[in-house]
Amino acid sequence: QAYDTKNSVSATNPTENVVLSQGSIINLDQGDPTIFESYWRKMGDKCTTEISGTDCMSYFSDAGNLCWFLEPQLSDTIKRLHRTVGNAVTEDRYVLVGTGSTQLFQAALYALSSPSGNESISVVCAAPYYSSYKEETEFLQSGLYKWAGDAYAFDKDGPYIEVVTSPNNPDGAIREAVVNREEGKLIHDLAYYWPQYTSITRPADYDIMLFTFSKSTGHAGSRIGWALVKDKVVARKMTKFIEVSSIGVSKESQLRAAKILGVLIENCQHLGTADSDNFFEYSQGLLTKRWEKLRDVVKNSQIFSLPKYPQKWCSFTGKYTESRPGFAWLKCKADIDFEILLRSHKILTRGGERFGVGRQYVRISLLSQEEAFNLFLERLSAIKGQGIISE
Which chain residues interact with ligand PMP by CB under 6 A? 31, 100-102, 130, 165, 169, 189, 191, 212, 214, 220, 225
One-character DSSP codes across 244-283: HHHSS--HHHHHHHHHHHHHHHHHGGGTTSTT---HHHHH
Question: Using CB atoms, what's the residue nearest to ligand PMP?
Answer: 100
Q: What is the DSSP string of 167-179?
A: S-TTT------SS
Cβ(282)–Cβ(39) below 8 Å: yes
**Least distance from ligand PMP to the Cβ atom of residue 370, Å:** 20
Cβ pair 152, 177 in contact under 8 A: no
Residue closer to ligand PMP (CB basis): 95 or 303: 95
User: Least distance in Å: CB of 88 to ligand PMP?
Assistant: 15
Smallest gap from residue 260 Cβ to ligand PMP (A) = 15
Distances (CA, A) of 163 to 92, 175, 358: 22, 10, 21
Distances (CA, A) of 242 to 78, 102, 248: 19, 11, 6
Alpha helices in 63-130 (DSSP H): 72-85, 100-112
Closest CB to ligand PMP among residues 214, 254: 214
Q: Looking at beta carbons only, is 109 or 191 nearer to ligand PMP? A: 191
**Which CB atom, from 297 or from 323, has the smaller least distance to ligand PMP?**
323
Among residues 173 and 297, whose Cβ is nearest to ligand PMP?
Answer: 173
Total residue count of the chain as it appears in this document: 391
Cβ-based nearer residue to ligand PMP, 20 or 140: 140
CB of 362 to ligand PMP, least distance (A): 16
| Residue 30 C-beta: closest distance to ligand PMP, Å | 7
Q: How far is the CB of 158 from ligand PMP (least distance, A)?
A: 26
Question: Which letter does DSSP use for residue 156 in this model?
Answer: -
Q: Contact, 11 vs 34, CB < 8 A?
A: yes
- d(CA 25, CA 4) in angstroms, rounded, equals 8
Backbone angles phi, psi at 104, to 5 degrees: -70, -30
What are the beta bridge partners of residue 187? 163
Asked if residue 195 has a cis previous peptide bond (ω within 30° of 0), the answer is no
Q: Which is nearer to ligand PMP, 61 or 169 (CB)?
A: 169
Find the shortest distance in angstroms from Cβ 63 to ligand PMP.
Answer: 26
